[in-house]
Amino acid sequence: MSGPNTEFDPKQVAALSAEAIDAMVQAAVEAIASAGDLDALKSARLAHAGDRSPLALANREIGALPPAAKAEAGKRVGQARARVKQALDEREEVLLRERDALVLQAEAVDVTLPVQRTPIGGRHPLTTLMERMADVFISMGYDVAEGPEAEAEWANFDALNVPPDHPARTMQDTFYVESPNSGVVLRTQTSPIQIRAMLERPLPIYVVAPGRVYRTDELDATHTPVFHQIEGPAVDEGLTMADLKGTLDHLATQMFGEGIITRLRPSYFPFTEPSAEVDLQCFVCRGASVGDPSNPCRTCGSEGWIEWGGCGMVNPRVLQAVGIDTDKNRGFAFGMGIERTLMFRNGVTDMRDMVEGDLRFTRAFGVDA
Ligand code: DAH
């Protein structure tokens, strides 16, 4: 152990003089007071209370003092450091409060400001109606089937007993993919899905097929080159036209409400025999305009009926084309336009409204997700 340092020169520890310590405290207090934010205060803390600050260095000198001087110097430095610490704490409290106030102000939300709303979008009324119609069949035990929109000409025409020279096959009516010899068309009806269902599924078949179809029509109030149909083939033992009528009546009631009256009017389709158009009694005049020139009806043209779709008993030639035994099995089929159904159901008078994408049109149906 070394003895007391008798050769101590008080000049060397001038840093411990009362003036020097006061000056250090003074400098520290000024620096702390002028720290404008918490970062500046951190620097001031490092400079005036850190390990290498003048007061810390002065503190280290105490050990070199003669024992008699140690206590006083220790007390002086200790008090000085306490004052600096207190100044730091006080300033920190003030700066923290200021910062919190600024944050509160910056993050304040004015709940009265108008909101920037991003519309979430809704599904098109044609889509929801098509699904609703399909749901009616699902509740009767039908499966939903789909097919390609670019379809084999064979399934769209030949297998459906449409003869090669039928006018519907011409390029005036049908979009051919690439060339008329490609054998691929944009399907002109959902009926080819019947063919696919009959080829792919075991009997009995109860299938509903909603989908998009294409024809080379110009867009106007009653035509669009892209539209939608829903198709239903049923093939089972012993099916009759009465089953067809009952099924269509159920669909009509679900779509238009109790009391809607339907009728089957003889017609012709190559893929059904017999064939019929399914008509709805005009729900505006209820038939009252027929033969009453004083009371014309614009909805049905005073016919009393409006055409909804086509139907019939599946032509045995179609069943044979897909290998179904026609001794035992019978089929019925129907197909109707979704656009027409929307027009009747919701009083839409111009088809262009359905394709132009104007939100004012779709909004009127509500956001139906
Ligand atoms: N595919 C026919 C059309 O687009 C509609 C149709 C009629 C479908 C009779 C059928 C049916 O399934 O049996 O005009």
Give me the count of residues in the chain.
Answer: 369
pLDDT of 71: 85
So what's the pLDDT on residue 13?
A: 59
Q: Which whole number is the average pLDDT over 149-170?
A: 93
CB of 189 closer than 6 A to ligand 1?
A: yes
* 129 plus 83 within the same structural domain: no
Residue 264 lies in a domain: yes
Q: Which residue has better confidence, 180 or 142?
A: 142
DSSP secondary structure, 142-165, as one string: PEE----SEEEHHHHTGGGT--TT
Same domain, 157 and 57: no
Same domain? For 63 and 152 the reply is no
> Per DSSP, which regions of 298-354 are E strands?
305-314, 329-337
The DSSP symbol for 176 reads B
Distance CA 233, CA 311 (A): 10
pTM for the model = 0.69
Is residue 151 located within the same domain as residue 81? no
Q: Which domain CATH number covers 323?
A: 3.30.930.10
Measure 165 CA to ligand 1 centroid, in angstroms.
19
258 and 141, same domain (yes or no): yes
The number of the ligand 1 atom at minimal distance from the alpha carbon of 233 is 12
Distance 300 CA to ligand 1 centre (A): 21
- Is 333 near ligand 1, meaning CB less than 6 Å away? yes
* Residue 219 and residue 86 share a domain: no
- For ligand 1, pick from 205, 269, 272, 313 the residue to mutate: most ligand atoms within 8 Å of CB: 269
- Report the distance separating Cα 282 and Cα 307, nearest Å: 9
Q: Is the CB of 125 under 6 A from ligand 1?
A: no
> pLDDT tens-digit profile of 328-337?
999 999 999 9
Last residue of a domain, one of 44, 76, 106: 106
Kindly state whether residue 4 falls inside one of the protein's structural domains.
no
Q: Is 311 a residue whose pLDDT tops 80? A: yes
The secondary structure of 185-230 as a DSSP string is EE-SSSHHHHHHHHHHSPSSEEEEEEEEEE--PPPSSS--SEEEEE
Q: Shortest CA distance to 280 belongs to which of 311, 312, 247, 248?
A: 248
Instruction: Determine, yes or no, domain membership for 204.
Output: yes
Backbone angles phi, psi at 162, to 5 degrees: -90, 120
197 and 245 housed in the same domain? yes
The tally of domains found in the chain comes to 2
* Each residue's pLDDT tens digit, 204-259: 999 999 999 999 999 999 899 999 999 999 999 999 999 999 999 999 999 999 99
The last residue of a domain, from among 71, 106, 141: 106
Residue 332 Cα: closest atom of ligand 1: 13
- Does the beta carbon of 186 sit less than 6 angstroms from any atom of ligand 1? no
Q: How confident is the model at residue 5 (pLDDT cuts 50, 70, 90)?
A: low
The answer on 187 and 96 residing in a single domain is: no
Q: Which residue type occupies 44?
A: A
Q: Are residues 63 and 142 in the same domain?
A: no
pLDDT above 90 covers a percentage of the chain that reads 73
**Confidence (pLDDT) at 11:** 47
Any residues with CB less than 8 A from the CB of 82 and at least 6 apart, and which?
A: none
Segments forming the whole domain that contains residue 66: 10-106
Q: Residue 280: count other Cβ atoms within 10 Å of its Cβ.
A: 22
Residue 283 has a pLDDT of: 80
* Per-residue confidence band for 178, with pLDDT thresholds at 50, 70 and 90: confident
> Which residue has a Cα nearest atom 8 of ligand 1?
335
In a domain, 5, yes or no: no
- Ligand 1 site, residue 310, Cβ cutoff 6 A: yes
* Widest CA span in the chain: 138
Q: How far apart are CA 16 and CA 76, in angstroms?
A: 8
Which residues partner with 211 through β-bridges? Answer: 229
CA-atom Rg of the chain in angstroms: 45
Residue 26 lies in a domain: yes
Residue 2 belongs to some domain of the structure:
no
Task: Identify whether residues 101 and 134 lie together within a single domain.
Answer: no
pLDDT tens by residue, 281-291: 998 888 899 99
Last residue of a domain, one of 55, 77, 106: 106
- Both tokens of 117, joined, read 């709303």
Query: 160: closest CA among 239, 275, 241, 264?
Result: 275
Quote the ligand 1 centre to 310 CA distance (angstroms).
Answer: 5
Q: Using CA positions, which residue lies closest to atom 3 of ligand 1?
A: 189
Within a domain: residue 152?
yes
For 20-43, how does the pLDDT look when each residue is reduced to its tens digit (9 = 90+)? 899 999 999 999 999 999 999 999
Task: Verify that 274 and 188 share a domain, yes or no.
Answer: yes
Beta strands in the chain (DSSP E): 143-144, 150-152, 184-186, 205-214, 226-237, 262-269, 272-281, 305-314, 329-337
Any domain includes 115: no
Q: Is the CB–ligand 1 distance for residue 211 below 6 Å?
A: no
- Looking at residue 72, its pLDDT comes to 86
Backbone angles phi, psi at 310, to 5 degrees: -115, 160
Same domain, 101 and 130: no
